[in-house]
C-alpha cells in the first residue's frame, strides 16, 4: 500500500508529470469557465457543464498528474467564481478522486480473458469497461457530492442527484470517447502504474474493493429512496454516509493494480480502428437525436406553461439524460453485433494478411496455421467469402510454390545439362586458332553464336590429307536441342564421307540418303561444302540450298559466288548434287555464313540483308579472317541494338596465302 501512496505524491518529481498537471489544470479551467454563467441563469444547479467529462478522461489517461491538475483547476475556478471555503475544499477533494478513481479502476478491473492494457478503446469489451468505470466513478462522486451538500444544508443540490449523475456520466461518454480516440490516434503515451500484481496472485486488500462498492451502493440507494419518498436526510445520517464514502475513497487508491500487458510504442499517428469510427459515429448520431428529443420536450413543456425556468431545465435534462442512456444501451448492443460479425472478422483477416505478407514464401514455408485461423472466420457473408478466397489463395500459392520449386530444380538441372551440351557442341567444332599453325599456305577463322543454349548451325574445316582442306557451313532447320542433335549427326556424316576421299557432290548425295532414313521429326539441313587442293588451288564446291558465299579475288572486292543450289539435305531421298570448280590464287578470300547474318532483325523489324553485308565487308576487304569476322559481328550488333537474337549466327573465312612449296 505504501507504494501506491508514493505514486500519488511522487508525481511532482517528474518533469513530464508537472507538464501534464499544468496542462490538465489549464484545460479544465478554460473549458469550465464559460459554464459559470449557469450560476446566474439557474441558481442552485452548479454541476450542469460538459467540463465534467475532463476529470475522468484525463485522469484515466494521465493518472495522478491529471488528478492533481484538475483539482487545482477546479480550485482556481471556484475561487474565481467567489465560492466559499467549504465549496472550494470539497470541490478540490471530490475532483481529485473523480479523476483518480478511473485510473485505478482501469488497471484493477479485468473483464473476461482480455488482458489489462494501457487505455484504448479498440474493442466493445474495452468500451464496456470504460462505460462501467465511468458509471462507478459517476455514482461514487455524485453520492459523495450529494452527501456533502446535504450535510452543508444545500437541499437544492442534494435533491439534484439524478441531474448530477447524468451530467457526470453522459458527458464523460458522449465527449470522452472521441477525446480518448484522438489521444490514441496521435500516440500520446498514457500513464501506466509502475507496481502491479499478477492475475494469479490473491493480494491482500480485495476487501477494499468490496467496501468501496458496498458503501457507494448504500449511499446511492439511500439517496434514491429519500428522493422517491421525499424524505429529508438528517444531517447526522448524511454526515455518517459521507464519512463511509470518503473512507472508501481514501482507501481505494491504496489498492494495488493488476499486471499490465506491455505495449509497443512508436512515433507518428495511428489509424482509427473501424470499431472506434462506428462508436464515434453513433455518438454523433446520438447528439442529433438528443437535440431532437430536447426540442420536442421543451416545446411540450412550453405548451403547458406550468413550470418555472429551473423546473423546466431539470425536467428537460432528466428526460435527455434518461434518453441518452437508452441510446448508449442500444449502441453497445449494436457495436457488439458489429464487432462480432463485421469488424472482428475484418481485423482478424487483416492481421492474417499482414502476417502472411511478412512471412517467407518458398517451398519450405507452409502456412497451415494461417490457413487454419482463416478457416475459423465465420462464413455465410461477404467477409466469410473473402476469408474463403484468401484461404484458397494461400493454399494454391503454397501448392504453386512447391510446384515452382520442383520446376525450378528441373529447370536448373536442364540448364546445367544444356550448358554441358553447349560446351560439348562447341568442342565438336574447331575452336583453337590458329587452327593449323604449321601450314603457311592458308589462314582460316570461324565463329558461332547460338540463339539458344545450343544451336543448329555448324561449321567445320579439316585436312582430308596433306594436300586437301575441306570447309563446311551448314544450318539445321529449327533451333534448340533437336536441331543440335541433328547437327551432330549431319556434321559427323559429312566428315566421315569426306575422309573416305569422295568428291563434294558424292558426299552430299550419300549424306542426304543417310539423313532421310528415320527422319520422323522432318528436320533438314542447308549446307555448303568445298574442298581445296592446296598444291594447285583447285577448289571444288557444292551447295545444298545454302546462302551463297562471298568471294574476293586478290586485289578485287567481295562478290557473291552464285551457283545453282541443290535441294536441302534430308529433304528428299534420291537427290543427286552437282558440284562446281574454280581456282583460288594467293590473296583470295572466301567468306561463308548462315542466314542468321543476313536475317538479323532490329527493333523496327528490318533485316540486315545481303546488300548491307556485301557493302560492309568491302569496307573491310583488306582485313584478315579473324579481324573481318569480328568487324561483321560488331556491325550486326550495332544494327540489331536491343532486339533479341532469333537465329544462330555462324561465319567462316578462308584466306589463301601461298601455294604448297613441298
Q: Beta-carbon neighbour count of residue 344 at 10 Å?
A: 18
Mean pLDDT, to the nearest integer, of 638-662?
85
**Residue 35 per-residue DSSP state:** G
The whole-chain average pLDDT of the chain stands at 78
Cβ neighbours of 622 (radius 10 Å): 10
Kindly tell me if the per-residue pLDDT of 301 is higher than 80. Answer: no
Segment 546-557 mean pLDDT: 94
Using a 10 angstrom Cβ sphere, with 0-12 exposed, 13-18 middle and 19 or more buried, the burial of residue 81 is middle
- Distance in angstroms (rounded) separating the CA atoms of residues 562 and 541: 12
Distance CA 183, CA 118 (A): 12
φ/ψ (deg, to 5) at 525: -135, 130
Position 612 scores a pLDDT of 95
Q: Looking at the predicted structure, is the pLDDT value of residue 43 above 50?
A: no
CA distances from 73 to 9, 30, 102, 245, 514 (A): 18, 9, 18, 24, 109
Of the listed ranges 15-29, 99-113, 223-237, 393-407, the one predicted with least confidence: 223-237
Residues 451-477 have pLDDT tens digits of 776 677 899 999 999 999 999 999 998
- Respond yes or no on whether the N-terminal peptide bond of residue 434 is cis (omega within 30° of 0): yes
Dihedral (Cα; 264, 266, 272, 274), 10-degree rounding: -40
Does position 1 have pLDDT exceeding 60, yes or no?
no
Q: What is the C-alpha separation between 261 and 52, in angstroms, rounded?
A: 30
pLDDT score, position 47: 47
pLDDT surpasses 70 at 5: no
Say what the pLDDT of residue 46 is.
Answer: 44
pLDDT above 90 coverage of the chain, percent: 27
Distances (CA, A) of 282 to 175, 333, 625: 12, 12, 88
Higher pLDDT, 39 or 260: 260
Give the residue-averaged pLDDT of 375-402: 74
485-511 per-position pLDDT tens digit:
888 899 999 999 999 999 999 999 999
3-class state of residue 175 by DSSP:
coil
Q: Give the model's confidence band at 578: pLDDT under 50 very low, under 70 low, under 90 confident, else very high.
A: very high
Return the minimum-mean-pLDDT range out of 122-136, 142-156, 641-655: 142-156
Q: Higher pLDDT residue, 580 or 225?
A: 580
pTM over 0.85: no
Q: What is the pLDDT at residue 44?
A: 46
Residue 2 has pLDDT above 50, yes or no: no
Q: Residue 280 above 60 pLDDT?
A: yes
The stretch 388-402 carries a mean pLDDT of 76
Confidence band for 220, pLDDT divided at 50, 70 and 90:
low
Assigned C-alpha cell, 158: 442534494
CA distance 543 to 546: 6
Q: Which residue has the cell 590458329?
A: 434
Amino acid at each position: 500500500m505504501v507504494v501506491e501512496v508514493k505514486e500519488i505524491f511522487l508525481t511532482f518529481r517528474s518533469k513530464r508529470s508537472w507538464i501534464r498537471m499544468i496542462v490538465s489544470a489549464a484545460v479544465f479551467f478554460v473549458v469550465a469557465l464559460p459554464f459559470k454563467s449557469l450560476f446566474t441563469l439557474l441558481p442552485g444547479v452548479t454541476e450542469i457543464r460538459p467540463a465534467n467529462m475532463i476529470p475522468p478522461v484525463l485522469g484515466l489517461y494521465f493518472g495522478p498528474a491529471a488528478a492533481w491538475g484538475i483539482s487545482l483547476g477546479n480550485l482556481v475556478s471556484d475561487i474565481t467564481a467567489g465560492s466559499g471555503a467549504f465549496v472550494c475544499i470539497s470541490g478540490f477533494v471530490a475532483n481529485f478522486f473523480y479523476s483518480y478513481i478511473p485510473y485505478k479502476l482501469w488497471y484493477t478491473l479485468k473483464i473476461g480473458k482480455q488482458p489489462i492494457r494501457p487505455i484504448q478503446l479498440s474493442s466493445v469489451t474495452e468500451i464496456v469497461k470504460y462505460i462501467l468505470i465511468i458509471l462507478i466513478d459517476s455514482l461514487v462522486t455524485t453520492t459523495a457530492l450529494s452527501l456533502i451538500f446535504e450535510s452543508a444544508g444545500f437541499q437544492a443540490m442534494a435533491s439534484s442527484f439524478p441531474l448530477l449523475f447524468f451530467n457526470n456520466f453522459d458527458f464523460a461518454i458522449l465527449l470522452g470517447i472521441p477525446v480518448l480516440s484522438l489521444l490514441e490516434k496521435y500516440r500520446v503515451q498514457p500513464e501506466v502504474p509502475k507496481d502491479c500484481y499478477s492475475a494469479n496472485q490473491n493480494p491482500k486488500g480485495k476487501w477494499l474493493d468490496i467496501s468501496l462498492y458496498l458503501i457507494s451502493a448504500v449511499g446511492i440507494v439511500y439517496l434514491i429512496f429519500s428522493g422517491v419518498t421525499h424524505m429529508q436526510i438528517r444531517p447526522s445520517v448524511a454526515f455518517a454516509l459521507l464519512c463511509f464514502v470518503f473512507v472508501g475513497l481514501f482507501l481505494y487508491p491504496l489498492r494495488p493494480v493488476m499486471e499490465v500487458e506491455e505495449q509497443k510504442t512508436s512515433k507518428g499517428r495511428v489509424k482509427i480502428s473501424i470499431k472506434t469510427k462506428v462508436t464515434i459515429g453513433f455518438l454523433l448520431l446520438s447528439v442529433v437525436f438528443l437535440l431532437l428529443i430536447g426540442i420536442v420536450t421543451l416545446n411540450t413543456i412550453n405548451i403547458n406553461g406550468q413550470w418555472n425556468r429551473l423546473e423546466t431545465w431539470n425536467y428537460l435534462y432528466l428526460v435527455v439524460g434518461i434518453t441518452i442512456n437508452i441510446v448508449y444501451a442500444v449502441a453497445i448492443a449494436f457495436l457488439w453485433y458489429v464487432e462480432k460479425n463485421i469488424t472482428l472478422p475484418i481485423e482478424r483477416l487483416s492481421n492474417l494478411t499482414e502476417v502472411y505478407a511478412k512471412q517467407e514464401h518458398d517451398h519450405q514455408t507452409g502456412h497451415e496455421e494461417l490457413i487454419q485461423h482463416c478457416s475459423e472466420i465465420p462464413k455465410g457473408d461477404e467477409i466469410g467469402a473473402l476469408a474463403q478466397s484468401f484461404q484458397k489463395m494461400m493454399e494454391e500459392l503454397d501448392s504453386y510454390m512447391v510446384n515452382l520449386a520442383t520446376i525450378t530444380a528441373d529447370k536448373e538441372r536442364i540448364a546445367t545439362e544444356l550448358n554441358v551440351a553447349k560446351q560439348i557442341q562447341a568442342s565438336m567444332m574447331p575452336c583453337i586458332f590458329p587452327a593449323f599453325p604449321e601450314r603457311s599456305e592458308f589462314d582460316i577463322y570461324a565463329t558461332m553464336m547460338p540463339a539458344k543454349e545450343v544451336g543448329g548451325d555448324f561449321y567445320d574445316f579439316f585436312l582430308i590429307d596433306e594436300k586437301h582442306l575441306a570447309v563446311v557451313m551448314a544450318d539445321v532447320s529449327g533451333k534448340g536441342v533437336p536441331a543440335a542433335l541433328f547437327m551432330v549427326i549431319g556434321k559427323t556424316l559429312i566428315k566421315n564421307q569426306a575422309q573416305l576421299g569422295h568428291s563434294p557432290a558424292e558426299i552430299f548425295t550419300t549424306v542426304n540418303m543417310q539423313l532421310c532414313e528415320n527422319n520422323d521429326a522432318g528436320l533438314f539441313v542447308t549446307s555448303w561444302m568445298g574442298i581445296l587442293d592446296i598444291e594447285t588451288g583447285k577448289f571444288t564446291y557444292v551447295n545444298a540450298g545454302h546462302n551463297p558465299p562471298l568471294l574476293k579475288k586478290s586485289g578485287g572486292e567481295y562478290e557473291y559466288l552464285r551457283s545453282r543450289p541443290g535441294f536441302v539435305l534430308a529433304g528428299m531421298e534420291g537427290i543427286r548434287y552437282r558440284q562446281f570448280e574454280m581456282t583460288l590464287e594467293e590473296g583470295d578470300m572466301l567468306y561463308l555464313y548462315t542466314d542468321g547474318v543476313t536475317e538479323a532483325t532490329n527493333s523496327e523489324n528490318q533485316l540486315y540483308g545481303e546488300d548491307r553485308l556485301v557493302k560492309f565487308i568491302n569496307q573491310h576487304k583488306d582485313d584478315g579472317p579473324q579481324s573481318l569476322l569480328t568487324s561483321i559481328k560488331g556491325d550486326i550488333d550495332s544494327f540489331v541494338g536491343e532486339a533479341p537474337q532469333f537465329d544462330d549466327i555462324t561465319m567462316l573465312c578462308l584466306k589463301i596465302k601461298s601455294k604448297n612449296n613441298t
